[in-house]
Amino acid sequence: MNAASKTYDVRTHGCQMNVHDSERLAGLLETAGYVDIASLPADDRGEIADVVVFNTCAVRENADNKLYGNLGQLRPLKQRNPDLQIAVGGCMAQKDRATIVERAPWVDVVFGTHNIGSLPALLDRARHNDEAQVEILESLETFPSTLPTRRDSAYSGWTSISVGCNNTCTFCIVPALRGKEKDRRPGEILAELEALVSQGVIEVTLLGQNVNSYGVEFGDRLAFGKLLRACGDIEGLERVRFTSPHPAAFTDDVIDAMAETPNVMPSLHMPLQSGSDRVLKAMRRSYRSERFLGIIERVRDRIPDAAITTDIIVGFPGETEEDFEETLRVVRESRFSSAFTFQYSIRPGTPAATMDDQVPKEVVQKRYERLVALQEEISWAGNREQEGRELEVLVATGEGRKDRETARLSGRAPDNRLVHFALPEGLAEAGRPRPGDMVTVGVTYGAPHHLVADSAITGGVFAVRRTAGGDAWAALQEQGAEGAVAKPSVSLGMPRIGAPETVETSGPACGL
Ligand code: SF4
């Protein structure tokens, strides 16, 4: 059967790495002739796409129940339509491998985190041989940025600077599933950024499990700060963000680069995980709370407007009330603008999963509620401090669920706070900002989780700056079918500069 007329649907779970990998899966499928089902008018989409791809995550509690639940829902459809193909990739696939086709024999393809480029060939082979194909590699064959990509946004993009992680945090499955850290060469990254900007992208997020250790592989410990500074030389690149840095590897040259490079945004997401030194040790995170607070102090000193966000795990095995109080202390002192808070849950395959002093669920729940209440108070106070400020907002799609009811538009401030803003009454269509444009507005209210900037209603500040990002978004809308989701066309993978043909990684770090 010819793939040319077939539709696909990539369903993504998990972190930004997966979101970006899904852009590559979409790029690969488009290059092979498949069509994104969301790009068709709603009436032409049928019951389901011809190929459904799950890009899975293994870190959340019940990740496997969710996956098998999702697969179970497709079973009757597959029984009715044997031509439907179901593929499972991502971290659960890397972890469970052939078990997936044993538990869900109606799955056609299982592929791992190291071989996403094989998906179209595996789909063909499964169709041709009428047999499920399971292909999991232990190490990266090709850096994924060399694959074609179909980006989700016209004006904003992700760029991987590294994949994998050399740390061995005891709660984390990443080293086991994504392998040791592999760094891309700066020249390749910058070439990709230039290419993105030439297509209208004005904001990029540099992605890596541990961006501060970027460069260790090719012998330059200062490479990340240098990369940020080099981003500052790319004309047309208005906003640079990155995620995530590790506190143990955070060096002051990165703070200097952030402070001295105007297009590097004043926002920092730095995972704390716990404020207790004892728990950090058990987590095998090699920094201590004083070091963490020291980084925050230096960032605030050099970049006073910086918004700092974090991740915190509550109820790690062995966490006592005293340990938890330490987390509350560090949270109070850090004044995070927001925090992703997680209740510890056993992730099979991690060292922490077999620690015997697991904290009872009720205790974890209570501590979690106390932490969330404290952080909400801090977030809200921080947002109220923004009232009266003028901010330049990058207008975005999909950020404001209530925009239609409230007649506002939404976007992100430089420090990454979510902003909902009103338009001046009677604004002509031609003066309306498009997603990808920049709008300067005044903050009128700091809500717990976002800012409201209704300055335009009372005749206050409201200035639209049209950007190449807005132009790129508008051009896409003209191409897209009515009611369909318009996405940028597929860009070919970036050529490698001086990188070896095959990148080998060593065995998993988590002992799986
Ligand atoms: S730094 Fe720790 S938590 Fe982060 S990916 Fe590496 S092992 Fe996992």
Q: Token pair of 141, please? A: 């064959």
How many whole angstroms from its chain centre is CA 247? 19
Is there a contact between 301 and 309 (Cβ–Cβ < 8 Å)?
no
**pLDDT level of residue 142 (50, 70, 90 thresholds):** low
pLDDT of 292-331, one tens digit each?
999 999 999 999 999 999 999 999 999 999 999 999 999 9
pLDDT of 99-130, one tens digit each?
999 999 999 999 988 889 999 999 999 999 99
Which residues, including other chains, have CB under 8 Å from residue 325's CB and lie 6 or more apart? none
> Which has the higher per-residue pLDDT, 142 or 414?
414
Mean pLDDT of 252-276: 97
Beta strands in 344-448 (DSSP E): 390-395, 408-412, 418-422, 438-442, 445-446
CA of 162 relative to ligand 1 center, distance in Å: 13
pLDDT of 337-350, one tens digit each?
999 999 998 887 88
CA of 36 relative to ligand 1 center, distance in Å: 33
State which amino acid sits at residue 260: E
Q: Among all chains, which residue has been given the structure tokens 């290059």?
A: 31
What residues does each domain of the chain span?
7-135, 149-385, 389-484
| Phi, psi values for residue 84, rounded to 5° | -60, 130
List the 267-269 sheet strands across, edge first: 267-269, 307-314, 338-343
CA of 169 relative to ligand 1 center, distance in Å: 5
Q: What percent of the chain has pLDDT over 90?
A: 72
Which of 185-194, 219-228, 372-381, 476-485 is predicted with the least confidence, judged by mean pLDDT? 476-485
pLDDT for residue 137: 86
* Angstrom distance (rounded) from CA 270 to CA 293: 11
pLDDT for residue 346: 85
Is there a contact between 436 and 472 (Cβ–Cβ < 8 Å)?
yes
* Angstrom distance (rounded) from CA 243 to CA 230: 17
**pLDDT level of residue 399 (50, 70, 90 thresholds):** confident
Mean pLDDT of 214-222: 93
Mean pLDDT of 421-428: 93
| HSE-CB for 239 with a 13 A CA cutoff | 29
pLDDT for residue 3: 46
Please work out whether the CB of residue 63 comes within 6 Å of at least one atom of ligand 1. Answer: no
45, pLDDT greater than 90: no
pTM for the model: 0.85
Q: Which atom of ligand 1 is nearest to the CA of 244?
A: 4
> Which has the higher per-residue pLDDT, 1 or 387?
387
> Which has the higher per-residue pLDDT, 142 or 303?
303
Looking only at the bridges linking them, the beta strands covering 418-422 and 338-343 are: unpaired
Q: Token pair of 195, please? A: 């290419």
Please work out whether the CB of residue 309 comes within 6 Å of at least one atom of ligand 1. Answer: no
The answer on whether 15 is annotated among ligand-binding residues is: yes
CA of 166 relative to ligand 1 center, distance in Å: 8
pLDDT for residue 502: 28
pLDDT for residue 422: 96
Identify the DSSP state of 491: B
Is 342 strand, coil or helix?
A: strand
Is 209 strand, coil or helix?
A: coil
Q: Average model confidence (pLDDT) for the chain?
A: 89
512, pLDDT greater than 50: no
Please work out whether the CB of residue 246 comes within 6 Å of at least one atom of ligand 1. Answer: yes
pLDDT for residue 152: 85
Q: Which atom of ligand 1 is nearest to the CA of 285?
A: 2
Which of 281-290, 304-313, 350-359, 383-392 is predicted with the least confidence, judged by mean pLDDT? 350-359
Please work out whether the CB of residue 167 comes within 6 Å of at least one atom of ligand 1. Answer: yes
Q: Token pair of 383, please? A: 């947002």
* Angstrom distance (rounded) from CA 222 to CA 183: 13
pLDDT of 444-457, one tens digit each?
999 999 999 999 99
**pLDDT level of residue 496 (50, 70, 90 thresholds):** very low
500, pLDDT greater than 60: no
Which of 44-53, 234-243, 477-486 is predicted with the least confidence, judged by mean pLDDT? 477-486
Looking only at the bridges linking them, the beta strands covering 109-111 and 451-453 are: unpaired
pLDDT for residue 269: 96
Mean pLDDT of 428-443: 95
56, pLDDT greater than 60: yes
pLDDT for residue 497: 34
pLDDT for residue 503: 26
pLDDT for residue 493: 54
> Which has the higher per-residue pLDDT, 115 or 378?
378
The answer on whether 231 is annotated among ligand-binding residues is: no
**Three-state SS across 106-163?**
CCCEEECCCCHHHHHHHHHHHHHHCCCEEECCCCCCCCHHHCCECCCCCCEEEEECEE
368, pLDDT greater than 70: yes
Which among 113, 162, 169 is the best mutation to test ligand 1's pocket, defined by most ligand atoms within 8 Å of the CB?
169
State which amino acid sits at residue 398: G
Nearest to 15 by CA among 54, 60, 52: 60
Q: Give CA separation, 354 vs 345, 348, 411, 470, in Å.
A: 12, 8, 43, 51
* Angstrom distance (rounded) from CA 179 to CA 209: 11
Question: In sequence order, what DSSP letters do the residues of 248-298 get, joined into one string?
Answer: GG--HHHHHHHHH-TTB-SEEE---B-S-HHHHHHTT----HHHHHHHHHH
Classify domain 389-484 by CATH architecture.
Answer: Beta Barrel (2.40)
Rg (CA), the chain: 23
According to CATH, the superfamily of the domain at 7-135 is Methylthiotransferase, N-terminal domain (3.40.50.12160)
Which residues, including other chains, have CB under 8 Å from residue 86's CB and lie 6 or more apart? 51, 52, 54, 71, 74, 78, 106, 107, 108, 109
**pLDDT level of residue 470 (50, 70, 90 thresholds):** very high
Please work out whether the CB of residue 162 comes within 6 Å of at least one atom of ligand 1. Answer: no
State which amino acid sits at residue 232: G
265, pLDDT greater than 60: yes
Is 198 strand, coil or helix?
A: helix
According to CATH, the superfamily of the domain at 149-385 is tm_1862 like domain (3.80.30.20)
CA of 165 relative to ligand 1 center, distance in Å: 6
Indicate the burial class of 233 (C-beta count within 10 angstroms; 0-12, 13-18, 19 or more).
exposed
CA of 190 relative to ligand 1 center, distance in Å: 25
